[in-house]
Amino acid sequence: MTEPSKTPELIKTFIQRASLKQEVHANTIKIFNDFKEVISGLYEVSKDTVANQPKKLRFEYEERGKFEVKFTFGSDILIFVMHTNVFEFPRDHIVMKTSYVKEDKDRSYCGVINIYNFIADSFRFNRVNDVGYMIGRIFVNKDSHYFIEGKRELGFLYTNFASSIIDKKAVKKIVDSAILYTIKFDLLTPPFDHVKEVSVHEMKNTLDNMKIKTGKRLGFRFQGDHKEGEANK
């Protein structure tokens, strides 16, 4: 049983940590709302231009609840998801070694916004075996400093946690970079030997129900065609 004399200190620690996490969470929601506003704004100013193209192009914006935004353009979908929990960087992470965090450990607690890229047809045809890719995740702390782990345009531009402060301008750059990366991130055809076999059951089903696992780096392949060792031959 905890000694009575220690209880006030425990409560003090609880209040401090819980309050910090609530502050980070509230700040992350604010930033995520900026993402919603930037993406919806891009959609609104561009939808007429896209609609007037000779070929019909898919171009859609959808808020899927408080913590998720889905943006469809052509054959791609970007999904921005805010995690509802607050995280701290691992001790061996580069951020933890900076003087910025060493001066105030509370700065290492962050909310997280993840960015995923999916193929639009995966949703259109309900191909539940298809995979998406996380192309970036944004960490935001109580003071609106941010750090991004990500691919190419995203990962290389936003790595200075101590000096990078996220605002509407920064959010727009992140959204633009995510879209640009996605446009350049093409669907690759898989090796022939990975897709040369298909079962009668799979072939008799309609395309949208076939167990073809598709992803930009997988290309496409039938589930269960090979054992892992055989597939790598």
Same domain, 159 and 196: no
pTM (predicted TM-score): 0.81
Print the domain residue range for 204: 192-231
Sign of the CA dihedral with 118 first, then 119, 121, and 127 last: negative
Q: Structural domain tally of the chain?
A: 2
Instruction: Tell me the residue length of the chain.
Output: 233
Model pLDDT, residue 150: 83
Which residue shows structure tokens 């959609």? 43
Model pLDDT, residue 219: 47
Same domain, 137 and 207: no
In this structure, which long-range contacts are made by residues 169-172, counting pairs with CB atoms below 8 Å and at least 24 apart in sequence? 170/146, 171/31, 171/34, 171/35, 171/38, 172/38
Query: Which residues are bridge partners to 212 per DSSP?
Result: 222
Tokens of 168: 């509407």
Do the beta carbons of residue 77 and residue 93 sit within 8 Å? Answer: no
Model pLDDT, residue 74: 95
| Phi and psi angles of residue 128, each rounded to the nearest 5 degrees, phi first | -70, -15
Model pLDDT, residue 184: 86
Model pLDDT, residue 228: 38
In whole angstroms, give the CA distance from residue 4 to residue 95: 38
Model pLDDT, residue 82: 97
Same domain, 50 and 119: yes
Model pLDDT, residue 108: 96
Same domain, 123 and 221: no
Do the beta carbons of residue 204 and residue 172 sit within 8 Å? Answer: no
pLDDT in tens, the chain (233 residues): 555 556 688 899 999 999 999 999 999 999 999 999 999 999 999 999 999 999 999 999 999 999 999 999 999 999 999 999 999 999 998 889 999 999 999 999 999 999 999 999 989 988 888 888 899 999 999 999 999 988 766 655 556 899 999 999 999 999 999 999 999 877 666 677 766 666 666 656 655 455 556 666 654 443 433 343 333 33
In sequence order, what E strands does 28-143 have? Answer: 59-63, 68-73, 76-88, 109-119, 133-140
Do the beta carbons of residue 219 and residue 136 sit within 8 Å? Answer: no
Same domain, 80 and 111: yes
Model pLDDT, residue 227: 40
Same domain, 30 and 128: yes
Q: At a CB cut-off of 8 Å and minimum separation 6, what does 57 contact?
A: 50, 73, 74
Do the beta carbons of residue 127 and residue 121 sit within 8 Å? Answer: yes
Model pLDDT, residue 52: 95
User: Which residue, of 184, 203, 219, is where some domain finishes?
Assistant: 184
b/e per residue 81-118 (b: at least 16 CB within 10 A): bbbeebebbeeeeebeebebbeeeeebbbbbbbbbbbb
Same domain, 82 and 168: yes
Model pLDDT, residue 158: 59
Same domain, 49 and 150: yes
Same domain, 154 and 173: yes
